[in-house]
Amino acid sequence: MIWIIGIGGSLGAVTRFILGNLISNKSQKLFPFPLGTWIINITGSFLLGLIAQLHLTNQISEWLWLLWGVGFCGAYTTFSTFGNETITLIQSNKVKLAIIYVISSIIVGVASATIGLNI
C-alpha cells in the first residue's frame, strides 16, 4: 500500500514544480512575493480538507485517501519552501512582506481547509 502514497507524492511534487514555476516566472517581475508557494499551499489546504471530509464520511475508499490526500496533497503543498522563502525575505530586509507572507499563508490556509472540510 505504501507505494500508492509514493505515486501520489510524485504527482503532487511535479504539479507543485510546474505550477510554482509558471506563477513565479510571471509574478516575480512584478513584486518580490513568493506567490507560487502561497497559491499552492492555499489550494492544497482546501483540497486536503475536501478529501479528508470525503474520507471521514466514508465516501471514498482508503487507497484514494492515501493517493490523493496523504500522497498528492501532502507533497503538492510544502512547509520547507515556505519557511526558507520567509527567511530569504527577512534577510533581504523585506520584513514587512515576510510577516504578511507568514500570517496570510496561515490564516487563508486554515480558512481554506475549513471550507474544504465543511463544503
Give the length of the chain. Answer: 119
CB of 31 to other proteins, least distance (A): 21
**55 binds other proteins per the rule CB under 8 A:** no
Residues 6+ apart with CB under 8 A from 4: 63, 66, 67, 71
**93 binds other proteins per the rule CB under 8 A:** no
CB of 67 to other proteins, least distance (A): 10
| Inter-residue contact 9 to 74 (CB < 8 Å) | yes
Interface pick for other proteins out of 28, 61, 92, 114 (rule CB under 8 A): 114
Q: What is the H or E stretch that residue 76 is in?
A: helix 74-76
**22 binds other proteins per the rule CB under 8 A:** no
Instruction: Find where cell 502561497 sits.
Output: 38
Amino acid at 113: A
CB of 96 to other proteins, least distance (A): 16
Instruction: Find where cell 512547509 sits.
Output: 79
Residue ranges binding other proteins (CB under 8 A): 2-3, 5-14, 16-18, 41, 44-45, 47-49, 52, 70-71, 73-84, 86-87, 102, 105-106, 109-110, 112-114, 117
